[in-house]
Structure 1
Amino acid sequence: MAYTRSAIVTGGTQNLGYHAALDIARQHPDWLVVVCSRSDREHAADSINEALKQSNTIFISLDLSDSKSVRNFAKDWVAKNYPPIQALCLNAALQFPGQIVYTAEGIEATFAITHVGHALLFHLLCPHIASKARVVITASGVHDPANYSGLPPAVYTTGEELAHPPPAIANGPGQGHYSNAKLANILWTYALHKRLRQRIPDRGVAVNAFDPGLMPGTGLAREYSAPMRFLWHKVFPKITPILKTVYGGNIHKPSDSAASLAWLAVSNETDGISGKYFEGKKEIPSSKDSYDETKIDDLWRWTLQYCAQDDTEAARFEGFT
């Protein structure tokens, strides 16, 4: 079958990403839906195809902590001449609750996976993104200290200090890196929205940030201790209604949050909406710091400088060509 468009979901083999890919594939059997992760041990693509009695979902390996893997993904995408990308869901994330973890390239791992790898992927694939495409970045309410999430509050100094934290940050609680990375997701959403409107307004590419809420049972806790993993995977999912009553309404099953993610990515109702932050299907304000233009511009400059291999590529990334 000749597919008309493509949709890409990072972290698409499990939980939120899996269900979002399933929803998109169901709504658009004429699209190629690509689920990405380091591996597909659960055969997610096959599972989606079997559930829908379709064959439009495939798996492509992608390690967001490794720039070579991201570049190989993009090269393979071009070589295989896949259809234009209509929906790009930058969803993958990971927490490291203990001591700081670095990638092989020397970047703090939470920031590398959650922000840097996604930014590089976007810039490499930008020439293959369709007119009026949607980019949805999975953020989190933990970025906002006003939400009292229980995680350390996000503190943005510079992009360089999130990538290579000084001792004051590096030696702090590991979950603080997650709060910081999620703030970076929203800062980058606003930076990207502004520059898309300036550089390529005629293409109408939209970008929004999305908070799926707390989703007990997802793979986010796979780096936690065995007792915490047991609670997260076996206990909390069974008492989600109680948790919602006690802690508030933004606690969901992955499939429910995925419906909102798919809605942002493909629904006609969200056509033309860009530069916003959503909690589920509701547009809400993000944190005070997330609107700081100094922070937004700093992250944009640092990201381009780090991701681009040379001045020519930096110019291409900056101009979205």
Structure 2
Amino acid sequence: MVVFVSLVGCGAHSTRAFLGDAAAPAPSRIPVDDAELLRVQARARYIVEAERAAIRATDVLMESKDVDLSPSRMQMHLTLPHGGAWYGLFGRVDDAGKFIPAYALKAPHEEPEWMELIPLNTLPIDFSPMARAVRTAKTITVETFGRTSVNPVVLVDASGDITVYTLQGTRDPKRFFYGGDFRFRFAPDGKTLREQVKLHPSVIAVDVAPITEDASRMDAHLHQTFKGPLETELALLMLYPELTSLAVGHVDTAVTYVLFPDGGISVVTEDNPASRRDLLPDGTFASPPAAPKPPEAEAPEARAR
């Protein structure tokens, strides 16, 4: 098997010391804690489910007859779960900040790809707060990175706060984009922006066309700010398994996180591969390998020979 490694920049330049550079500090070998890895994995799975639900909702709508796609009615879309179901919503936000749906679709929560059109009067709640949050998040993302194709992922937590991830979209099945992503957190009204985190400083185009039939591929990049992997990175790898794996590190650490399309994460420390830690796709950690047994003492009669 041939392995291709593509080094992808993340707006970062390595500051690790060269051999003999005594003035440079030694890189940290302390990985992020298990709770953070579990959070990243859980959020990545949510992003993947939401993206698949959104893709299916769009496909069903485009395949439907007598659909009015005029820009005056169809200015935005959002997909999110509520009450045990996924809802795909298409419409606009008016000048008063109210979401005016043009079309709505619904799918069971366990099967986000089973989308079907539903009457607007059957929507369980007013989705205006979420739509307002999405509109603001998309506007900031487009202004920051200059690409108008942006996919929002909405998550409402137990407190009512609204988290919106913005990912770079693409219509090219052979290319997708790392980076160009944000994580926003809004108050329950969808108006007050409480947190805005730029996850990557630039947009990175990645070709996902297969290299050869017997080849594998690993992409790699370094973070400047975040010590560990990000949920958007793992989610994109799960959505585009052709990449095989993604290695993520930080410019000032000696720890590498290898992400896999099944949602698994391996934590590897330089110069100490035996300390490898594996978060499995099911959300559990693999048992560490057993320590080698010490050599047995030689019997006295054997030594006398």
- Higher-helix-fraction structure: 1
TM-score over 0.5 for the pair: no
Quickly name the TM-score band, shorter chain normalised: under 0.3
TM-score, structure 1 length as denominator? 0.23
